[in-house]
Structure 1
Amino acid sequence: MKYKILLLLVLTFSFLFPSLSFADAAPGDVIITLGEDLTEEEKQAILAEMNAPENPQIVIVTNEEEHKYLGQYIPKARIGNQALSSASITIGEAGSGLDVTITEQITLITEEMYANALITAGVKDAKIYVTAPGNVSGTAALTGIIKAYELSSDQAIPEEVKQVANEEMVETTKLSEKFGAEDASALMAKIKDEIAKNAPKNDEELRTIIENAAKELGITLSEADIQRLMDLFNKLMDLNIDWNQVGEQLNLAAEKLTNFLQSEEGQGFLEKLKEFFISLIDAIKGLFSKEA
């Protein structure tokens, strides 16, 4: 999963609210969010899984809070009636970036979706791990991370920012179901990057940006898709976003991936990928040989 999130960083690493940060937390500090409906045994198991430090800062998330922030975007049945998903947030050095890892128990929200929503909400420079005792949507963890951010930084995230962050996450989910998570995240990033370079002056220019970004990725958007994206990005542009900073952070992300690919770990990953394709080709050749 970490290779997927490294690719995601290139596609979506845009800090929309650079003035917000985990201001009162020092690098290395750990904040834990726990769903209120976990049993005591489940809480202890999750803390052990996260390798939580002794006496960590803990934020409790309620099911009511999940519905408050996500209820108008996600069907109530998918959110459920219990808050179970949990997260650990390790504060990173300034400029270290956002790194999200989820376990297989999180079934609705992907790493890409967490990253997109959290970036929009202003969360940055943190390593985030999301898990649960069983298969759940992951909405409690998303709500908890944003709540933990507010408490640790002693700064309230404006309500409209939370709403747009959640709306962006849900829109990415919809696009992911049609085009796959990577293409959906890439589309969002391309649109943001183009807005950073050439701010659209009207709806016609915004539509052109969206259509061109989709075309570059080989994605065919419906009129309904385009309209939803226009509505979303119009809301984003109405907020106080430093789009120059967005472009700069996208470039930083690309540089990070380049450094990774040149590293020993990155080269090992590429070698494994190469071996996989060689073995796949050999298997196909073997099938044809048997048929002959």
Structure 2
Amino acid sequence: MRKSTIGIIILSIILVGAVIPLGFSAVDNQQIVITYGEATHSNANYKNTVDDFFVNQAGVDLNTVDSKIITADEVNKISSSITGRTYSPSQIYSSALVDLNDNDNLEVSVDKSKITTITGDMYLSALKSVGITAGHVYVTSPVTATGESALAGIMNCYEVVTEVEIPDTVKEAANNEIYTEAEIVENSNVSADDLSKLVDDVKEEVQEENVTDHQTIVNIIYNYTIINNINITDSDIENLANSIEQIQNVQGDIDTYQTEVSDVFNSTDEAQGLLDGLFN
């Protein structure tokens, strides 16, 4: 009887090893990744400030969490094609932590005392545009920053944890959405929250109706500015329309990425269920 029990345990271990996908394990912190802005990581005081925020907000042991550095080159690869701006290594402060242990829904927590322009809702909207619908994202900076460059780090976190690469076309569309909203907030009287709601409403209608015509998207945006009593310029409306149109044009890439990520999550859930059953 003893030999039989040992045999079952060994077989169970083999089966568990076979079904858990690479990159995931029973250790929760392997589903948590931090990305530090280049300037933050190179300054011990800055890094400690950011680490304190992550520990207090996410309740994680940073000694067991993987981390990466987001460089100016990585940010510029995206931003230069959208805004024409380039950043130096000393300007990349924004840092992010992504926790996929709770993958039932997507939540974003932003350090409002440091991130001055991009709100949690803006990150949330941009990530949903990519096809990301799960995880808890935390964003902060050791000094005041707009938060625009943080999206590159957030998406990098998802790639590290899931081992699924986000297509460049999708990254560019999501970042364009963030940069466009940031520019409008900085140059107009509209609040970030009001603009974020406007964009969400427009995107929802555009996606439901599968609208790809530029002028139709412009008209939808204009209608929502009237409904929500938001005053933005015709140029702002054009820029928003271009951003939303770009997201619509890469929807095929978004769907492919979302399917691959869903397969990873489903495999993980199945493996965890088998683990629970075996050890019970």
The alignment's TM-score, normalised by the length of structure 1, stands at: 0.66
2:212 and 2:71 mapped to 1: Cα distance? 41
Q: Distance in 2 between matches of 1:137 and 1:203?
A: 29
2:81 counterpart of 1:81: no
TM-aligned CA deviation for residue 75 of structure 1: 6.1
SS of equivalent residue, structure 2 residue 81: coil
Q: Is the 8 A contact 1:121 1:146 kept in 2?
A: no
Gaps of 5+ in 2: 1-21, 256-280
Q: 1:24 to 1:226 in 2, by over 3 A?
A: same
Task: Quote the residue 2:238 is aligned against.
Answer: 227
Residue of 82, 107, 110 corresponding to 2:116: 107
Amino acid at match of 1:238: N
Task: Check whether the contact 2:104–2:135 (CA below 8 A) recurs between aligned residues.
Answer: no
Is 1:46–1:133's contact at 8 Å kept on the other side of the alignment?
Answer: yes
- Which residue is 2:35 aligned to? 33
- Cα distance change, pair 153–222 in 1 and its aligned pair in 2 (3 A): same
Match of 2:98, SS?
strand
Structure with greater Cα Rg: 2
% same residue: 24
Tell me if structure 1 keeps the 8 A contact 2:212–2:249. no
Partner Cα separation in structure 1 for residue 251 and residue 24 of structure 2? 24
Q: CA RMSD in A?
A: 2.7
2:53 paired residue among 49, 53, 62: 49
Q: Alpha-carbon deviation of 1:149?
A: 1.2
* CA apart distance, 1:85: 2.1
Aligned to 1:125: 134
Where structure 1 has 5 or more consecutive residues not aligned to the other structure, the ranges are: 1-22, 244-292
Return the letter of the residue paired with 2:50. Answer: I
Runs of 4+ in structure 1 deviating by more than 6 angstroms, as ranges, are none
User: 1:95 and 1:41, CA in 2 relative to 1: closer, same or farther beyond 3 A?
Assistant: same
1:163 aligns to 2:172 (yes or no): yes
Cα separation, partners in 2 of 1:154 and 1:120, compared to 1, 3 Å: same
Match of 2:199?
A: 188
**Aligned residue identity for 1:239:** V
Aligned to 1:285: none
Cα shift readout 1:218-273 (whole Å, capped 9, x = no counterpart): 12443222322222222122122689xxxxxxxxxxxxxxxxxxxxxxxxxxxxxx
1:211 Cα deviation from its structure 2 partner: 1.9
| Cα deviation, residue 45, structure 1 | 4.1
TM-score, normalised via structure 2 length: 0.68
CA contact (8 A) 1:106 1:131 kept: yes
Deviation, 1:41, is 4.3
Looking at structure 2, the residues matched to 206 and 41 of structure 1 have their Cα atoms a distance apart, in angstroms, of 46
How far is 1:63 from its partner?
Answer: 1.6
What is the correspondence of 1:184-263 to structure 2 with a 5 Å cutoff? 184-200=195-211, 202-240=213-251
SS of alignment partner, residue 71 of structure 1? helix
What residue is the counterpart of 1:59 in the other structure? 68
Cα distance in 1 for partners of 2:250, 2:221 equals 19
Contact 2:117 2:185 in 1 (8 A): no
Secondary structure, aligned partner of 1:33 = strand
Residue 222 of structure 2 aligns to a residue whose secondary structure is helix
3-state DSSP class of the match of 1:60? strand
Cα drift, residue 184 of structure 1: 0.6
Q: Shift in Å at residue 158 of structure 1?
A: 0.9
Corresponding residue of 1:15:
none
